[in-house]
Structures are given as structure tokens and as C-alpha cells.
Structure 1
């Protein structure tokens, strides 16, 4: 027995978006007065949300415009448009052409309808790039997730630059959208183990910590680990002696010892080094960068979901969100930069003393070199 839809089933059909009516009005204006096509620049076919409407717009742009006097009393050009578009949109028919013509309020407003279509396309484009950024940052199969994610962010930046040239700024250009909270990062046991290994290895090789200004306490998942990192950094920057006992003393002064973290527990935590501090630090920073990319993508999605935002508000808000990721990009580039090439040995002429040169850098610990 066939299913009879209940009256409530009609409520499940989503209402058309505002751009649907703008596309109908524009096509109706162009079908009525084809000369209005000149008012729609720089509108392009791919700006349309509806595939059927895009096919009709392509047909209107492709066919030579009719003589206005002949067009007013003859439907030959309308039939030609329908014949040209129908192979690309089989659902088109004569009835829908007449519906579009009747729907258009005022053909002379074609330019305004075109701007609405372009604005909605900008919204969809930004949303698509935000979703791409989020999916890349969470893809576990990428061989170089940080590099790939930053490449997607570069693509997003170029799109924003292109859109900024198309839409003029206006007062009150920052969106008022309520932004979602930062995307929470689950603290897996592997992630916490990496943070513990960094603390222990930094305690064992404090000289290498001097070059790790690119890592901050905000990059850690566990607040206790972030506080201990700050304690080790403080000892290093004061040029104090660093070992598990001195780290214990600094932690005591900072009020980090509690019933859950006894002195013995803390000394055990910072007494099992492996590899090098840079190795574990890069892992922690990479994880923080990918998490920031997810947060940026969530903010851009929130901006595009808010239909009250104008194109320029979308651009401004997205650029500010992307700037938060670029701050981590700077630290990531410093962390992963190749060491400078060794200077060439100066030529010494006979009878002249050799010029003073800088001593070679201290070699990394054997365990660190082996790991790398």
C-alpha cells in the first residue's frame, strides 16, 4: 500500500534561501529585457547556487540578444534560450520560463539581484574553504599535516584577498556573530606522554632549551605540564643550575606541589629523558597548530552561517580568525627552520694572523642525534 504523506511531512522541506529568489528575479529580468545583461557584470555562471538557474544564465549570455521591438511581440528568443539550456538542465520547461518572468518585481533592479547572488556565492566559497581547512587539520593520514594545513590556510588567504577586491568596505564591517568556543582537544595518553618526555629531556639538556622560545605554555594540553615548563624556562633564563632537584625547588616556589603531586612524583616525572627537547617540542607545537586550525575553521563556518553578515563582514572576520593561525605559523617556522650553513674557512695569507671565528655550536646529546 503506497505511503500517504502526513500533513506534517511538508514541514520537512527546507524553505528556499534568499538567494533562490534573487536568482529567479534576475533571470526573469533578463528574459524580459535581455539588454539588462550589461548591468549584471561581473556576475559569472558559477556564482549561481542553482544548477538549473546557472544553465539558463549561460544560455542568456551565449545567445545574441534579440531586437527589443521584436522580442516584445515574439517568443522566438525565449524558445532559443530554453532549447540551449535544456540539455544541461533537463527539468526546464516552458512553464518555468513564464514563472521566472512573472516573478521578477522590476527588471531595472537586475544589478541589485546580481549583487545578492555574488554575495551568497562568496559566503559559500568561504564556507567551503573553512570546511577544507578543518578536514585537513584532522586528517590522520597526512604525512606532513602541519605543512599541508598551512598550505590550505594560504589558499584561504588568497581567496580572502580576491574577495576583498570585489566587495567594497563599509562602516561596521566587523561581524557581530557569537563565535563558538575553541575546539576542545582530547588529551590522549600519547599526547601527555610526549609532554612528560619534553619536561624530563629539557631538565637533562637545559642548554638546548635556550633555543626553544618558539614553544609557549599555551601549547600544552595539561596545565600542570605548562606550569612545569615555565619553571624550567625560568631556571634556564636565570642561568641557574637545572636538574630534577632544582626543578623541584622552583616548582615548590611556584606552588605546584599538592597532595596529587608529591615531591617524589615530580622528581620521577622530570628524571626520564629521551631523544632531545626539540623533538618533543616540535610534536607539541604541531599538535597546537592543528588545533588552532580547527578553531579558525569553526569560526569561519560560524560567520558564514550567520546570514546577517555582509560579504565584507565575512572577509574581515575570516581574516582576523586566520591571523590567530598565522601567529602559530611564525613559531612553527622558527622551530622547523634548518640550521644556518657553516661559514667557509677563511683564507689565510702567508705572514698574516688568522681572523677570529666563532666556535662551532655544541653538539646535541648522543640520544638526540641518534633519534634524529
Structure 2
């Protein structure tokens, strides 16, 4: 089969060579133009499944017009002329010559169903890629007033897309994708805002250990600084044991856990643990939000990597994407626990509002200027 570009590609040249799905589209259109009755066998496909505008317009026209009488269709081009005229309503540049070319290059009209499945498969890949890209972009959009709500809505749309693909493409053995996960972002020091939030949490949690005991939705994986994660383990261990909690007891626990390494001075830790502002709940929600958005961004990148691999089958996309979403779903559950109203009687000291996180309290103290190395 010779390479036959679509009519309007001469006006807008594309440096990328056509992909296999392009030829599948040409083959299917050629089959339908030659034998229009085969449209009855491929009712499940929609025009938006076609990757090229000219092909979408032609398929829409074929599906809109009544099929011609086979005997008359073999004798004249009246129906082809009607298809061309109808397609012109949606795109420009189509010619009678291109329609005849499509007919000539179709390998076998009887394979129309196979061509259709190829087109549907590529469309599924593009659709999933769109949702994954949207999740990635939403998770890093600093202009959003409710970033978590918007990110979770994008994740819901992606999950719904996966459910649709799973229904249309049956499972088969060996369904795990072989595409390697994208490399993690280049390691960088945590930004100052994240470090300050973690420091405020550790200080306020030390001052209010009873409230800290209710924050089981926050884990060490949510912290950006390894030392801060270790100190959070110290705090939660002390509260679980019912041991006294203050800066000195936390410092001693940190020593027992091997956190006082080179560059981590006891005086610096004591300074960190006494710079309180706000409440543990507020800072914990801020840290958990950052962790959720970071995980959502990494999840979107991983799914995009799957969609970029043409060797990945639709059901492999479903299985791999669902696994990629597992960590985000787990974080979502913890976020719901953190931001949902407290059940009556479970925490009598105070009740809290539902999502989103509360506006930050005025800072009555500044973070300690002493920086502790990782």
C-alpha cells in the first residue's frame, strides 16, 4: 500500500510520518466507499475515533447518508458525489480523486471489522492519554483555588475512562504492561514552604500530643525531608506508648532512632521543636495536600508513559493504569479521613470543618533559621 497523505496535509505539512492507525483509517473508509453495506457490521465506532479530521468528515458523511443500491453503486458515482458534498460541510480539501484513492488502496473490504478494531484501539490510547495529561497538569496548577478537589475530579474522569475501556476490551493473559515507569523527577532539596510547614507541624505536635494522636492519616511518606519524617515517627511512637511528650523527650527518642547524625545538632532540634504556630491539624492537612498533589502528578506521568508505548494493548493500559492509581486512591482515603467532620463523641475537644483545608493562621512565630541537613 502506498503512502497517501490526506488532502489537507499539503497545506499543513507534518514532519512526523503517518502511524499505522492512519492506514487502518484509510483502509476502512475505502472499504465503506466500495461496499457501503459493510457499515452495518461496524456500528460501534464513532467519528471521533478517527485521528484525522478529513477521515472523521468522510466517516460522518458515510454514516449520515442512506446506503445506495449495490447495483446502481457499481454503475455510477452518484453516491460518492453525495458523500463528498456532505463531507465538505465539515472539512475542506477533500477531492473526488482522494475518495477513489481510498477505494484503490483498501487491501480487502471484507476486513472492515478488523480495521475498525485497530482504529478503536488507537482511539482508546489517545483518550486515556488525554485524561492522564489532564491529571498531571491539574495537580501542578498553582492557579486553582481548590487544587485537591480539581485533581480528584480529574482522577475520577480518568477512572471512568478506564471503566469504559475495560468494558470494551476484554481481558487476556499477560495483561501487565511491560513499559518501564518514567524516571522520577531529578532529586532536589524540598522547597522552603514545604520545609517550614513540616517544621511547624513537628513543633505544634510536640506542644499538643493529644491532638497528634488523632492524626493517623498522616504518614512518614508524606514528608519531603527525611529528618522530619523521622521526627514524626518519634512523636507518633511516644504518643502510642503514652509516654511524656515534650522537646526533650522527642530529642531523646530521636537519638535512640539514630537521627542525630553528622550535621544534626541536638540544639538545632530543640530549636525546631519549640517554634510553634497554629495547630497540628492545620499543618498536617497542608502536608497531606502536598503529598496528594505530588502523587497525582507522578500517577499521571506513569499512565502517560503507558499510552506512549504503541506495544501496550488496551487491556494492559487498563491494568497498568489502575495499579498506578492505587497509591493516589490510598492517599485520597487518608485525605477524606483528615478533612471529614469528626463523628460525635470521638473527639470532644473540638470539631472541624470539611474540605478544603482551613485558611492558614497568622504566623506568631517564624520558622527557626537553623537549617538541619538531610
When normalised by structure 1's length, the TM-score is: 0.88
Alignment correspondent of 1:206: 209
Residue-by-residue CA offset, 1:84-134 (whole Å, 9 max, x unaligned): 112212110011111101110000000000011111111110000011111
| C-alpha separation in 2, matches of 1:281 and 1:172 | 41
1:185 Cα offset (Å): 7.5
Greater CA deviation, 238-247 or 38-47?
Answer: 38-47
Residue-by-residue CA offset, 1:204-241 (whole Å, 9 max, x unaligned): 11110110000000100010100011011111111000
Alignment correspondent of 1:221: 224
Alignment correspondent of 1:190: 193
1:362 Cα offset (Å): 3.0
Alignment correspondent of 1:171: 173
Root mean square deviation of aligned Cα: 2.0
Alignment correspondent of 1:34: 36
2:343 counterpart of 1:340? yes
What stretches of structure 1 of length at least 5 have no aligned partner?
1-10, 343-357
What stretches of structure 2 of length at least 5 have no aligned partner?
1-12, 352-357, 363-374
Number of aligned residue pairs: give it: 343
CA contact (8 A) 2:223 2:287 kept: yes
Q: Secondary structure at the match of 1:105?
A: coil
Residue-by-residue CA offset, 1:339-362 (whole Å, 9 max, x unaligned): 2246xxxxxxxxxxxxxxx9x723
Alignment correspondent of 1:8: none
1:41 Cα offset (Å): 2.2
CA contact (8 A) 1:174 1:316 kept: yes
| C-alpha separation in 2, matches of 1:55 and 1:248 | 70
| C-alpha separation in 2, matches of 1:190 and 1:90 | 53
Q: Which runs of 4+ in 1 moved over 4 A?
A: 183-186
1:369 Cα offset (Å): 12
After superposition, the Cα gap between the structure-2 partners of 1:363 and 1:171, relative to the gap in structure 1 and judged at 3 Å, is closer
CA contact (8 A) 2:282 2:360 kept: no
The one of 77, 80, 86 equivalent to 2:79 is 77
2:270 counterpart of 1:267? yes
After superposition, the Cα gap between the structure-2 partners of 1:369 and 1:109, relative to the gap in structure 1 and judged at 3 Å, is closer
1:184 Cα offset (Å): 5.6
Alignment correspondent of 2:279: 276
1:182 Cα offset (Å): 3.6
Alignment correspondent of 1:301: 304
When normalised by structure 2's length, the TM-score is: 0.88
| C-alpha separation in 1, matches of 2:360 and 2:58 | 65
| C-alpha separation in 1, matches of 2:207 and 2:77 | 86
Matches within 5 A, 1:65-104: 65-104=67-106
Alignment correspondent of 1:13: 15
Decide which structure has the larger Cα Rg and report it: 1
| C-alpha separation in 2, matches of 1:123 and 1:40 | 19
The one of 294, 310, 314 equivalent to 1:311 is 314
CA contact (8 A) 1:183 1:291 kept: no
After superposition, the Cα gap between the structure-2 partners of 1:195 and 1:185, relative to the gap in structure 1 and judged at 3 Å, is farther
| C-alpha separation in 2, matches of 1:58 and 1:12 | 24
